[in-house]
Amino acid sequence: MKKWFIGWSLGGLVAPLLYLFVFLISGYTLGEGIFIFWPGAMGLMALNNGPPITMVVLVWLAAIGSNSILYASIGLLLWPFVRRNNRGSG
């Protein structure tokens, strides 16, 4: 279960890191479609008025951290089903 939890937590980091990579390389923003895989990105809307850099860093950390927690929670909810299916196929 520990590997499952860690895997889902790390999976929650994929969307934010991919978004940052695309934005830094091409300057292209993914628009509202990013909210499907990264719901915590809604917090980034608070950065519209150019707050101080500490606030920017805190909002980014909260947005990325919340996504990791969300994915880990989904993984924990799915764990009993995966465990039951693995027992039946073994």
Q: Report, in angstroms and rounded to the nearest whole number, the Rg of the chain calculated over CA atoms.
A: 16
pLDDT tens-digit profile of 8-62? Answer: 777 777 878 888 888 788 877 767 777 777 777 777 776 776 777 787 788 888 8
What is the average pLDDT across 63-81? 82
The pLDDT of residue 89? 58
Helix (H) or strand (E) holding 64: helix 53-89
pLDDT at position 88, please? 61
Q: In the block, which residue shows the tokens 């996504």?
A: 67
Overall number of domains in the chain: 1
Give the domain range for residue 24.
Answer: 2-89
Top pLDDT among 89 and 80 is at 80
